[in-house]
Structure 1
Amino acid sequence: MLYNALKLLHVLSIIVWVGGMAFAHFFLRPAVQQLAPAERVPLMRAILQRFLAAVGASVVVVLTTGLALIGMVSMGGGFVMPWDWKFMSGVGLLMMAIYAYIYLALLSRLDTAVQAADWAVGGDALARIRTWVGINLLLGTAIVVVVLLW
């Protein structure tokens, strides 16, 4: 029962993270592109602050539950982690590092630009965030494909 509950929390957190990136990348961003930079940049900052905070919580849950699930399975001894779990773990850690870069470096650059009303710098920060979110979305999708097909 505990294993299933941890797995559920793990998957729900991944849905928030990867699903949120897909929504932002394919639906939200194109819709707000029609706004003037003075409207678009502060709006995207407000959205990203909320979304990245939720992703931060998801990262904690994914990491904690992932480690707990591996620990529970390996307690019986003789455990050899399957290839897809190794892939998921390695790529997941890379995604967490990218998230940290977005949150700690790029979001603060966006914050500074909005506070200074420097829409060009804010637009550049948003473009960099979009690039890294796109990379993370591809990595997250790759994890889902590998885990479900192997």
Structure 2
Amino acid sequence: MPHSILWSLVLALHLVSIIMWVGGGAYAAVILRPSLNLLDQTQRNSVHLQTMARFFKGLTHAIPTALITGWMLVLHEGGFANAPWTTNAMQLLGLIMAVLFVRMYMGTYQKLRRAIRPQASGFDSVRKQVLIIVALGILAVLSACLGHPFV
């Protein structure tokens, strides 16, 4: 496999992971969560918990993949010392997003998952945390775009 095809595939894997992470979070918080209000509370809680379980399981793969492929691309382009500030900003935002996800997954989500009767406030907390992660993800994408100007 030619060298450039390999790195194109690494970039594609990086982008697909970011799309799942940021796009999935935006969908869950902005579209799915408000739509669940059409269901009664028991159904709403069940659908919400099942959705979060599947989404978060996917993120346990997408997040490490995004970070690792990002670092591989930086190393391929000359290393961290030669990276533009936008790449470093993107990396910082990605690491913050990952820490926030782990905090949410290990904290609020586990409390909801274990609760006999999960409360709406717990779901609202997850939604707010996901929206923060999405906002940081959008900033990271903007940083990536700033780092590669069109000539």
- CA–CA distance in structure 1, aligned partners of residues 142 and 74 of structure 2: 20
TM-score by length of structure 2 reads 0.88
Number of aligned residue pairs: give it: 143
Query: Displacement of 1:69 after TM fit?
Result: 1.2
User: Of 3, 8, 19, which residue of structure 2 is paired with 1:4?
Assistant: 8
Unpaired runs of 5+ residues, structure 1, are none
Name 1:140's counterpart in structure 2: 137
**Is 1:53 the equivalent of 2:80?**
no
Paired residue type of 1:59: I
- CA–CA distance in structure 2, aligned partners of residues 96 and 73 of structure 1: 23
Query: Displacement of 1:74 after TM fit?
Result: 2.0
Deviations 1:39-91 (A, max 9, x none): 1112100000000111111011111111111122226xx95210110000001
User: Of 94, 97, 110, which residue of structure 2 is paired with 1:95?
Assistant: 97
Segments of 4+ moved more than 6 angstroms: none
**TM-align CA RMSD:** 1.5
TM-score by length of structure 1 reads 0.89
Query: Displacement of 1:101 after TM fit?
Result: 1.1
Paired residue type of 2:141: V
Deviations 1:100-150 (A, max 9, x none): 01211111111112xx1x243xx2211110010010010001111222134
CA contact (8 A) 2:86 2:143 kept: yes
**What percentage of aligned pairs have identical amino acids?**
27
Unpaired runs of 5+ residues, structure 2, are none
- CA–CA distance in structure 1, aligned partners of residues 130 and 71 of structure 2: 24
